[in-house]
Amino acid sequence: MKKYLELTKFEHTIFALPFALASLVILYQYMPSLWKLLWVLVAFVSARTAGMALNRLIDLPIDKINPRTKEWVHARGEVSEKDIKRLVFLSSGIFFLSCLLINLYAFLLAPVVLLLLWLYPYSKRFTYYPHLVLGCVYFLVPLAIDISFNEHVSLNAVILGFGMGFWVAGFDILYSLQDYEFDLKHGIKSVPVKFGIEKALLLSRFFHILTFVCLLFLLFRVEFLGFLYLVGFLAIAVFLYYEHSLVKPYDLSKINKAFFTVNGYISVAFFFVVLLDRIF
């Protein structure tokens, strides 16, 4: 179990799950039942597990020779390729079942989610913008929440989706800087490979400014958002500024701190200010 959790980087769930729960707090029209909430959480975790397992499976030949990843459990062979395939099928099956138990709309749209999760690891082979493919996956999260609880897609869900998508795409660009030399040498595509490190950092900052704008726009559209949201929103802006101050073109040593620590704080902070504003 420990190796499977390490394989799928289960601890990274903290990046997206609080954002998904914040979307739920903002979007639900009627108090959701615990039964439906349970299956939405199962769908979220199983889809993420399927996506991570697909990523490991498809990138296995690359991960075996990449100095950064060659000691990961799948690259060392501690979790076999056959076991990863089993995990893909199991988590995908649980995802489809949970979507079916949510409602028909969620079930019919489930293949779109899995298609994007499958496409993301392949995208670095044919486009310099795989980060935007990952952003599209997370763009769907608030839409999926809206469909699950309200059976439609609202403009607020779309705004949240763009905010979440640009946030993830922005920090995925930062994460890809770790493999810049390796990707350049082996023909793997990314924004840093196409534009260089300095321009990649600028594009990441631009994506996070767009996230900032989307979250600000919600303040004027969602009736219950007020002072607490504004305070949290300003705190998120500070966190984003701090994240980018850690990464310099000539010093990439603090990427992990920027990626793991700061983004975890941003996601959790956003959830709590939205929740507190709705409660009060």
Q: What is the pLDDT of residues 205-232, one digit of tens each?
A: 999 999 989 988 988 888 888 888 888 8
C-alpha distance from residue 154 to each of 23, 62, 230 (Å): 12, 40, 22
Supply the DSSP symbol for 31: P
Q: What pLDDT score was predicted for residue 193? A: 94
Sign of the alpha-carbon torsion through 1, 168, 275, 157? negative
- For the cut 70, the answer to whether the pLDDT of residue 182 exceeds it is yes
> Over the stretch 101-152, which tens digit does the pLDDT of each residue have?
999 999 999 999 999 999 999 999 999 999 999 999 999 999 999 999 999 9
Confidence of residue 268 (pLDDT cuts 50, 70, 90): confident
Domain encompassing residue 73: 2-279
Q: What pLDDT score was predicted for residue 148? A: 93
Residue type for 71, please? Answer: E
Regarding predicted confidence, which is higher, 245 or 113? Answer: 113
CA distance 210 to 200: 15
C-alpha distance from residue 234 to each of 22, 99, 157, 201, 241 (Å): 17, 35, 21, 22, 11
Q: What pLDDT score was predicted for residue 147? A: 94
CA distance 142 to 50: 19
Q: What pLDDT score was predicted for residue 64? A: 92
Q: The tokens of 5 are what?
A: 């959790």
**Overall number of domains in the chain:** 1
Q: What pLDDT score was predicted for residue 209? A: 92
CA distance 157 to 136: 14
Q: What pLDDT score was predicted for residue 38? A: 94
CA distance 225 to 278: 7
Sign of the alpha-carbon torsion through 237, 37, 151, 51? positive
Q: The tokens of 178 are what?
A: 């770790």
189 SS3 class: coil
Contacts of 242 (CB under 8 A, 6+ apart): 262
Among 2-16, 174-188, 251-265, the range scoring the smallest mean pLDDT is: 251-265
Neighbour-count burial for 168-188, b at 16+ CB within 10 Å, e otherwise: bbbbbbbbbbbbbebbeeeeb
Question: What's the mean pLDDT in 157-163?
Answer: 95
Find tokens 């704080």 and name the residue.
265
Q: Taking a C-beta distance cutoff of 8 angstroms, is the pair 87, 4 a contact?
A: yes
Write down the mean pLDDT value for the chain.
88
CA distance 178 to 227: 38
Q: Which CATH number is 176's domain given?
A: 1.10.357.140
